[in-house]
Amino acid sequence: MDKVLIVDSDSENLKKIENGFKELHHFQLLTAQDGKSAIDLLKKTKASVLITDINLSDMDGIHLLAYMTRNHPSTPCVVMLGPGKPRPWFTDRTGHEDVLYYIEKPFEFGTLASIIFVGLNLKDEGLTLKGMTLKNFLPLMVLSRTTCLMEVTSGAQKKGYLYFDTGVLLDAHYNNTSGDQAAKDMAGWESVGITFSKLPENRKKQKIQTKVLEIAGAIWKEKAIPKPAPRSAAPAPSSAPAPVESKLQTALSRHVGILKTIKGYRGMAILNPEGKILAFDTADPSVNFDLFAKEFNHLFAECSKTVSQKGLNRCTGLTVHTEKAVVVMMASDVYKQGNFKFIGMMSPEGNGFFMQSQLLRVIPQVLGAP
């Protein structure tokens, strides 16, 4: 079973995460409250994903991540940022950087679970073998305001140095290249191994003009703060209280993370026997289950009727392939979980069989959630 290591000196937050994962049995959870304990644990056992706070009681999280680049380079890592801290958004990707991902506290449990499942899936598919690129790591230097000499290696041939003073990049060099050009070249290095040492006194002169985020090809992505309503604006009348998220929706949001790791995943919905949508999740804004949920529910019923008449027993699942999508439907165990249908949509290249196999694991968890 995969092992996931979470490192956080905030014991209360760590306990909340542990309690949240009690209902998930897809991996074994390991925890540590400081960097040294985490490293000692990593020397004894292999973690498939590492999640660490940027600030630990005995070291900065960047030192633990640097250790990972040298000793476990293909292990996906997640950095937990303090409340209010912006996270980097890499403009040439979509914010997700394979081996290194950023998440801001406080976060929903389902969000962290989804990120972990993505990391496990990327590792299983061999997409993290190239390790971390330096550009993914650079924003951490700004966030942690670190002063140091950073030695960077890439493979057996490349070695370079970056000089930081409280998170400001002063200079860089490798071979016969230095300054801005050296920093920009090194930012693209893959499979980097990072080591920190003391900043030499004679290397504290500012020689680089380009900002670290620009070198990394990133921008700061901050949470949008809602604007206050005008003083003269009166609240809209309401004849009913605000809707409360159903327990089924909460359960789906909690467990849908593993489905989101499936290549081509576009959305998932839970239907009652009449085809009414009780809960849903979408990764593609164009997916609207209201447009076809009842029709597919009817199609499933007709399929069940036909296979039963032909002596093939009860229909438990149905997969439809079209030029635009793959639609997968699975039925719950009526006697154990109630009469529900789960309908998932994937892009045409999606793996319908994998969706079915994951639904077999997720359905009992969603319907069995308190």
Tell me the C-alpha to C-alpha distance, in Å, between residue 269 and each of 88, 191, 324, 325, 359. Answer: 32, 39, 18, 15, 12
Domain containing residue 274: 247-368
Residues 21 and 121 in one domain: yes
Position 52 scores a pLDDT of: 96
Inter-residue contact 155 to 193 (CB < 8 Å): no
pTM: 0.64
Residues 210 and 270 in one domain: no
Residues 18 and 83 in one domain: yes
Q: Is residue 241 part of a domain?
A: no
Residues 168 and 304 in one domain: no
Q: Is residue 232 part of a domain?
A: no
Q: Is residue 237 part of a domain?
A: no
Q: Residue 205's Cα: distance from chain center in Å?
A: 38
- What is the CATH number for 47? 3.40.50.2300
Residues 26 and 143 in one domain: yes
Residues 281 and 163 in one domain: no
Of 223, 239, 271, the residue that ends a domain is 223
Q: Is residue 231 part of a domain?
A: no
Identify the DSSP state of 22: G
Residues 185 and 64 in one domain: yes
- Could you read off the pLDDT tens digit of each residue along the chain, which spans 370 residues? 889 999 999 999 999 888 887 766 678 899 999 999 999 999 999 999 999 999 999 998 999 999 999 999 999 999 999 888 888 888 765 444 568 888 888 887 777 887 887 788 778 777 788 889 999 999 999 999 999 999 999 988 899 999 999 999 999 999 999 999 999 999 999 999 999 999 999 998 999 999 999 999 988 876 544 444 443 343 443 334 333 347 888 888 888 888 888 888 999 999 988 889 999 999 888 888 988 888 998 898 888 878 877 888 778 899 999 999 999 999 887 767 788 999 999 999 888 888 888 888 889 888 885 5
Residues 40 and 157 in one domain: yes
Comparing C-alpha atoms, which of 195, 193, 216 is closest to residue 63? 195
Q: Is residue 49 part of a domain?
A: yes
Residues 142 and 264 in one domain: no
Inter-residue contact 77 to 52 (CB < 8 Å): yes
Q: Is residue 184 part of a domain?
A: yes
Of 188, 223, 258, the residue that ends a domain is 223
Residues 148 and 94 in one domain: yes
Q: Is residue 50 part of a domain?
A: yes
Position 239 scores a pLDDT of: 37
Residues 351 and 208 in one domain: no
**Residue 226: how many CB atoms within 10 A of its CB?**
6
Q: Which two tokens stand for residue 58?
A: 């005995």
- What is the CATH number for 256? 3.30.450.30
Inter-residue contact 242 to 265 (CB < 8 Å): no
Position 236 scores a pLDDT of: 40
Q: Is residue 236 part of a domain?
A: no
Residues 8 and 155 in one domain: yes
Query: Domain total for the chain?
Result: 2
